[in-house]
Amino acid sequence: MAPPSQTVSELRSLLAVRFPERARKPCGGVPAAVRPIDDALGGGLPAGRLTELVSAVPSGGGQTVVAALLAATLAARQRMALIDGADGFAPEAVPAGMLRHLVWVRCRAPEQAFAAADILVRDGNYAAVVLDLRGCAERALRRTPASAWYRLQRAAEGGSVAVLVQTTSPLVPAVPWRLVLDTPLSLADVDAPRDAVADRLAVRTERSHPQAIELAG
Amino acid sequence: MSYAVLSVPDFALHALRRSDPELCGQAVALVAGEGRKARVAAASPEARGIVPGLAAALAMSRCPGIVFRRRDPAAEVEAHRLLLGAAFTLSPRVESTCGGCCTVDLRGADPARTEALMRLVAVELAGTGLPARIGAGATPLLASYAARCAEPVLVVRDPRDFLAPLPLAFADPAPAQAEILRGWGIATLGGLTALPKAEVGRRLGSEGVLLWERAAGETLRVLRLVEPARSFAAEWAYEPPVESIEPLFFKLRRFAERVALELRGAGFVAEKLSLTLLLEDETDHRREFRLPEPGADVEGWMRVLNAHLGTVRTEARVAGVRLVAAPARPPEKQDGLFDAGLRDPASFWENIARIAAIVGDDRVGTPALADTHRPDAFVLERPSEAVTPSVEAPVHPPCGPTLRRFRPPWPVRVVCDAGSPCRLEGGRLEGDVRAALGPWRSAGDWWKPQAWAVETWQVELAGGGVYQIACMDAGWCVEGILD
């Protein structure tokens, strides 16, 4: 009988041959320019995957992550989409020059946000797509069938876009990475440089699936 | 080859079939005449055993389920415009010879390229439900003979070999001439042209000479050229009015195919589409689509139109539809050395249009700050094609957590102590204020009726969370959260 390690290795090889699309190596990542998040994810938001960022407390720093991602994608001359489920993005909160690569979708309902995400994730022109569901009615989000999330994950897997889903409570089933912001910022942070605020965010890793990368490798 | 002829056999029948989705795959016959005198003028391939000239009653007994229709002049006009549009993609010198036939002057064109183009045009026309045959030759007459024999494209390089086996009927002899020639044992064009032209003239007169010239394909004539389309519009009236979306899609696709061909023939692309649904209650539903990537791609147009029509609800049935394309010159662009363009521009703009159909035109785009200090003032602009690198650091580097707005702002009652907020009550947000920063006062547009003034505070609640609250004319509200 073969040793277990050899069996697992053979099984991985077999899976990689039978399901090449599943074994596709994530093509790089998109640095979020938020050190705790990049550290937790091993370098940045993984391309071709969904990452869920749960803002478990008010002022957890989720919007600061969006602002940092805007700056990072612009520095890399990449395009970013923000699907704003509750229409909460404030353009005046980021420097004007940092908006020109952003496509902002102002949704009125979660259904619109899902429909837009389904389209944009398949579009090959974006490096990062942020699906911000904070502020959406919790009941409406809970009604979202799991199949919608799986569909989004499958769509992301086919491309090179990094998808960041922002929620206020864990929502995405079988998401490879789920990070939680569970320490609120305070008024003392208001005068600190935003980069410093971002680097101080308290990020807890609730779920990570390194084996997804391992399988690909 | 100097001339080409685009011809559609059974043009009236094909024009009718491409205008009515119910006739797809059906046995259809065009009939002429009334009552017992009604005769089949043309029949679709599905109508087996039905030949032109057959009495309608007999046709019905031979082919049960056959659909009889009369000619539809509007459908024929639409189909002929499509054919003309296709002809203009070959050359700007086009004659509208007759319904379902046009002649193109190809002199000066590259023969190899033109032949390849003709094959493409034939495929494209067949795809739109108009199976055209295209013939090319040294004279318009020779090209028309070639079109009659083409499957679907035929270029005549050696006229003598081509004409020799063709039946004499191709040259359209008068009945008396045909009788005489039959007596001479001549049944083909080659047989007639084998005779000396002068001898034929001596025996059959000037009419005989003309027939000989037609048989030799030598007849030259001046083409009556038509101008390419300058307005790119199509309109259709439904009788009876329609309630579902499928007939609209079908007709819009036909329109789009024709208008796109006309645009291409005139050297244009569409930058804007205008769709009007004429409703039964004499109102209308209008919508304009600006195509961010100007083009003449039918599929792209249809995606934009379908995305919109999928969301349209009208009070009355649709009695007509109109599609207008605004022409523009094709865009020419060159990528920059340091900016990053779109990987797939067509997909990008199509997806933007699809999302605009979902959330609304005014709710997708790139935000830009408006030239005012009024809170939450911005405009959404068309996304740029290229992402240019950031060259300048912002004058005021951003500080602190980022604001996330509540739209509309949450009304709240604020209890103040010594002029500073100390508690929020009565709204979606309640709690004691642990710390507060402010006030920041701003005002503007005082010379206008829309004058505004606002006093803003940032407060941290005891239960956690930093919020931005504002006092305006309407009272206090929570503008958003610093997140």
> Where, residue-wise, is CATH 1.10.150 in chain B?
159-215
Chain A residues within an 8 Å CB radius of B400: 189-192, 194, 197
> Is the Cβ pair A93, B403 closer than 8 Å?
yes
**Tens-place pLDDT, residues A61-113:** 999 999 999 999 998 888 999 999 999 999 999 988 889 899 999 999 999 99
A164-178 average pLDDT score: 92
Is pLDDT larger for residue A213 or for residue B355?
B355
> Is the Cβ pair B401, A197 closer than 8 Å?
yes
Residue of A nearest to B462 (CA): A186
> Is the Cβ pair B458, A187 closer than 8 Å?
yes
> Where, residue-wise, is CATH 3.30.1490.100 in chain B?
233-328
Chain B residues within an 8 Å CB radius of A61: 401, 483
Task: Give me the DSSP letters along A86-129.
Answer: T--B-GGGS-GGGSTTEEEEE-SSHHHHHHHHHHHHH-TT-SEE
From A55's Cα to the closest Cα of chain B, the distance in A is: 9
Kindly state the percentage of chain B with pLDDT values over 70: 97
User: How confident is residue A207, by pLDDT bands cut at 50, 70 and 90?
Assistant: confident
A25: pLDDT strictly greater than 50: no
Interface membership of A200 toward B (CB under 8 Å): no
Chain A residues within an 8 Å CB radius of B464: 57-59, 184
- Output the pLDDT for position B226: 87
- Output the pLDDT for position A217: 32
- Output the pLDDT for position B441: 93
Torsion, Cα of A99, B358, A63, A77 (10° steps): -30
Task: Give me the DSSP letters along B58-88.
Answer: HHHHHSTTPEEE---HHHHHHHHHHHHHHHH
Kindly state the percentage of chain A with pLDDT values over 90: 51
Please count the CA atoms within 13 angstroms of the CA of A49 that sit on its side-chain side.
28
> Is the Cβ pair B404, A100 closer than 8 Å?
no
- Output the pLDDT for position A215: 36
Tell me which residue in A119, A184, A197 faces B400 most closely, judged by beta carbons. A197
Q: In 10 A of CB B153, how many CB atoms?
A: 23
Measured in degrees and rounded to the nearest 5, phi and psi for residue B260 equal: -65, -40
Chain A residues within an 8 Å CB radius of B367: 89, 91, 99, 102, 104
> Where, residue-wise, is CATH 3.40.1170.60 in chain B?
3-155
Q: In 10 A of CB B262, how many CB atoms?
A: 27
- Output the pLDDT for position A24: 46
Substitution target from A53, A59, A83, A122 for chain B, most B beta carbons within 10 A: A59
B3-155 has CATH 1.10.3210.10 classification: no
- Output the pLDDT for position B428: 85
> Is the Cβ pair B400, A104 closer than 8 Å?
no
Alpha-helical (H) ranges within B239-312 are 246-265, 298-309
**Tens-place pLDDT, residues B269-302:** 898 999 999 999 989 999 888 876 788 888 888 8
Substitution target from A27, A54, A106 for chain B, most B beta carbons within 10 A: A106
What mean pLDDT, rounded, does chain A reach? 85
Question: Token pair for residue A183?
Answer: 């320490």
From B424's Cα to the closest Cα of chain A, the distance in A is: 16
Interface membership of A37 toward B (CB under 8 Å): no
Interface of A with B in 52-111 (CB under 8 A): 55, 57-64, 66-67, 74-75, 77-79, 86-108
- The label of the residue with tokens 């005489």 reads B180
Chain B residues within an 8 Å CB radius of A98: 390, 394
A211-217 average pLDDT score: 40
Are B436 and B459 spatial neighbours (Cβ–Cβ below 8 Å)?
yes
- Output the pLDDT for position A213: 43
- Output the pLDDT for position B264: 84
Domains and CATH numbers, chain A: 27-209 (3.40.50.300)
> Is the Cβ pair B394, A97 closer than 8 Å?
yes
CATH value of B159-215 in 3.90.25, 3.30.70, 1.10.10, 1.10.150: 1.10.150
- Output the pLDDT for position A5: 58
DSSP B474: T
Distance CA B5, CA B8 (A): 10
Interface membership of A164 toward B (CB under 8 Å): no
What are the DSSP E strand ranges found in B184-316? 225-226, 232-242, 269-279, 284-295
Question: Residue B279: which of B246, B316, B324, B322 has the closest Cα?
Answer: B316
Chain B residues within an 8 Å CB radius of A60: 483
* Architecture field, domain B233-328: 2-Layer Sandwich (3.30)
Tell me which residue in B340, B384, B466 faces A78 most closely, judged by beta carbons. B340
Distance CA A70, CA A128 (A): 9
Q: In 10 A of CB B339, how many CB atoms?
A: 13
Q: Which helix (H) or strand (E) holds B191?
A: helix B189-193
- Output the pLDDT for position B174: 92
| Chain A, chain B: beta-carbon pairs less than 8 Å apart | 200
Low-confidence stretches of chain B (pLDDT < 70) are 292, 331-340, 390-391
From B460's Cα to the closest Cα of chain A, the distance in A is: 6
Chain A residues within an 8 Å CB radius of B378: 91-92
Residue of B nearest to A100 (CA): B366
From B309's Cα to the closest Cα of chain A, the distance in A is: 16
